[in-house]
Amino acid sequence: MEECTSENANQAYILRMENICKSFPGGVQANRNITLEVRPGEIHCLLGENGAGKTVLMSILYGLYKPDSGTIYFKGKKLDIHSTKDAIENRIGMVHQHFMLVPTLTVAENVVLGQYQPWKVLNDMDKVHQRIRTMSDEFGLDVDPSKVVQDLSVGEQQRVEILKALYHGADLLILDEPTAVLTPQESEHLLKFLRDLANRGLTIIFITHKLEEVMQVSDRVTVLRDGRVVGTVNTRDTNPRELARMMVGREVLMELKKAKTEPGKVIFSVRNLRVKDARGLEVVRGVSFEVREREVLGIAGVSGNGQTELALALAGLIESDFDEMRLDGQLITKRDLQRLNRLGMAHIPEDRQKMGLILPFSVAENFVLKTYRDEPFARRGFLQFDTIREYTRSQVSKFSIRVGDIEEEIAHLSGGNQQKVVVARELDRQPRFLLVNQPTRGIDIGATEFVRQQILVERDAGAAILLISADLEEIFALSDRILVMFEGRFMGEVPPDPALVEQVGLMMAGKTVQTSG
């Protein structure tokens, strides 16, 4: 630490955010007295769980929010930022987690959007196209200025976002969870690219909650928790375990204990399943698989390769076409949710807020969403509120769900706690076949650890589990077998051997790989 301070004295900071406070209506304290210092030309990671205040802090810097108090110094001068325009003019660029591109406009139109006076006639778009091509070549971004954004892949859109920021002129580039939407190879490529940019003198702030990325890409890390700075450390002086502890505030189990089990009989099987999406395009193109008891079958893949539709079809929520489907030995012939439920299927959906929960309902009401018609929650058509409350309280304490009052609207709970409610509800029915889609997306480490553990408990108790996830780490940690999905088909099956991560990554990108063993 001593050395660090002496270094500070000599080395100028390009950015210093001092005592930033920000609260939102409703009393949420997003930033509490945060001080952040960033050196020129470094990659500085901002690490923290969801809701730690990372994005809010950077949104303040980028002019999207006004801080309640605090000062910002940029390049040695006090900076007053009232709008994003001020930020852009001061050469601060930001790549948002949810892309800020207008899907119906072309790449070039998106790049110049907001850059001209309103009455400017767009008669020099050829020059803009030329400049984008030149920059694209210079940075190796491979961006075509004439393409319409909605026709681009997620990875391409992200490169457009980066190019947009560079085009506007940036000395400081903020990236908010940029790898969340990328394949492992794309992420790798992005991290290398950012290192390149930093070597050219650009300063980069990289928001993330993934420890491996921090270790791989950054020079220094500032960890946030509950809107406060826990500390700033040099990356080479720290390790993932320490960072996790700073981030969560306690020791975290980095590795799950997965007991060896012997899979039993086939619980669920489907042959030649085909599913169409809402537009009528076939997005699941003839897949077959089976899941046995005491087994987790993982389906890996980049989001949007048919996993969503696969899950919805299996859960009986949309129509599908298949040669044969069996659940617990029984033939499934038509879409019948009630029957699937009776045969012991449980579903933890991808989007808890749209499908798993009814947000304006209370915690207790959400707990009995599937069972409120049955004894003991209803008698002769009347809800038994005491029983429901009793039951909810016991579940809340059993799964240690942080909730103020069980009559509270579930919308007020954090993502992690909402997910715990869904998991608790589905697992309480002791399913034979558990369908899990993206169980830990957007929830904090603590809840992630808990949810994953529950899935393994369920496996050991004899359930057959189908796990769909775009998170490779999760797939490898939980699965007994892994199928890789690309454009509606399975690319092959691999065992969860950590040495095969790279191979799975290639398969996720559509490359056929010899699967041995």
Partner 1 sequence: MELVPAILFLQSILAATWRMATPILYAAVGEVFSERAGVLNIGLEGIMLIGAFAAYSTAYETGSLLLGLVAAIISGLLSGLLFAVFTVTVKANQIVVGAAFNMIGMGITGFLYRAFYAESGKILSLKTFLPVDIPVLSSIPFFGEVFFRHNLMVYATLILVPLASFILYRTAFGLSISAVGEHPKAADTVGINVLRTRYVSILIGTSLAAIGGAFLVLAYADQFVEGIVTGRGFIALAVVVFGGWSPWGAMGTSLLFGVFYALQLRIQAMPDVLIPYQFLQALPYFATLLVLVGLTKRRVRAPKALGIPY
Residues that bind partner 1 (CB under 8 A): 62, 64, 83-85, 88, 94, 96, 99-105, 109-110, 112-123, 164, 168
Q: Which CB atom, from 112 or from 500, has the smaller least distance to partner 1? A: 112
How far apart CA 107 and CA 160 sit, in angstroms, is 7
**In contact, 211 and 243? CB cutoff 8 Å:** yes
List all residues 6 or more positions away from 158 whose beta carbon is below 8 Å from its beta carbon. 95, 99, 178, 181, 182, 190
Cβ 190 to partner 1, closest distance in Å? 20
The torsion defined by the Cα of 456, 458, 463 and 468, in degrees rounded to 10, comes to -50
Complex with partner 1: residue 105 or 383, whichever CB lies closer: 105
Cα-based distances in Å from 516 to 275, 289, 295, 497: 29, 19, 21, 12
| Residue (58 or 508) nearer to partner 1, CB | 58
CB of 59 to partner 1, least distance (A): 10
Sign of CA dihedral 250, 254, 260, 261: positive
- What is the C-alpha separation between 398 and 492, in angstroms, rounded? 39
CB of 71 to partner 1, least distance (A): 22
> What whole-number distance in Å separates Cα of residue 515 and Cα of residue 503?
9
Contact between 410 and 421 (Cβ < 8 Å): yes
Q: How far apart are CA 295 and CA 293, in angstroms?
A: 5
Closest CB 116 distance from partner 1, rounded Å: 4
110/440 with CB nearer partner 1? 110
User: CB within 8 A of 52, min separation 6: which ones?
Assistant: 224, 225, 226, 227, 247
For residues 375 and 152, what is the distance between their CA atoms, to the nearest angstrom?
Answer: 52
Closest to partner 1 by CB, 56 or 343? 56
Q: What is the closest distance, in whole angstroms, from the C-beta atom of residue 389 to partner 1 in the complex?
A: 36
* Contact present, 445 and 452 (Cβ < 8 Å): no
Of 109, 106, 143, 134, the C-alpha closest to 124 is 109
Please check whether residue 454 is in contact with residue 428, taking contact to mean a CB–CB distance below 8 angstroms. Answer: no
Q: Specify the residue, 85 or 265, whose C-beta has the smaller distance to partner 1.
A: 85
> Can you spell out the DSSP letters for 275-334?
EE-TTS-EEEEEEEEEEETTEEEEEE--TTSSHHHHHHHHTTSS--B-SEEEETTEEP-S
Among residues 101 and 345, whose Cβ is nearest to partner 1?
A: 101
Peptide bond into 376 cis (omega under 30): yes
Please, what is the minimum distance in Å from the beta carbon of residue 96 to partner 1? 7
The nearest distance, CB 279 to partner 1, in angstroms, is: 11
CB 207 within 8 A of CB 175: yes
Query: Residue 101 CB, nearest distance to partner 1 (Å)?
Result: 6
CB closer to partner 1 out of 13 and 99 = 99
Which two three-digit tokens encode residue 498?
Answer: 């950590």
Question: Cβ of residue 124: shortest distance to partner 1, in angstroms?
Answer: 11
Question: How far apart are CB 95 and partner 1 at their closest, in Å?
Answer: 10
Nearer to partner 1, 57 or 315 (CB): 57
Nearer Cβ to partner 1 (94/443): 94
Given a contact cutoff of 8 angstroms between Cβ atoms, the answer to whether 100 and 88 are in contact is no
Our CB check for partner 1 shows the closer of 110 and 208 to be 110
Shortest spacing between CB 16 and partner 1, in angstroms:
23
Tokens, residue 449: 């650890």
Shortest CB 501 distance to partner 1, Å: 34
Q: Rounded to whole angstroms, how far apart are CA atoms 163 and 167?
A: 6
Nearer to partner 1, 62 or 476 (CB): 62
Is residue 484 within 8 A of residue 490, CB to CB? The reply is: yes
Are the C-beta atoms of 31 and 20 separated by less than 8 Å? yes
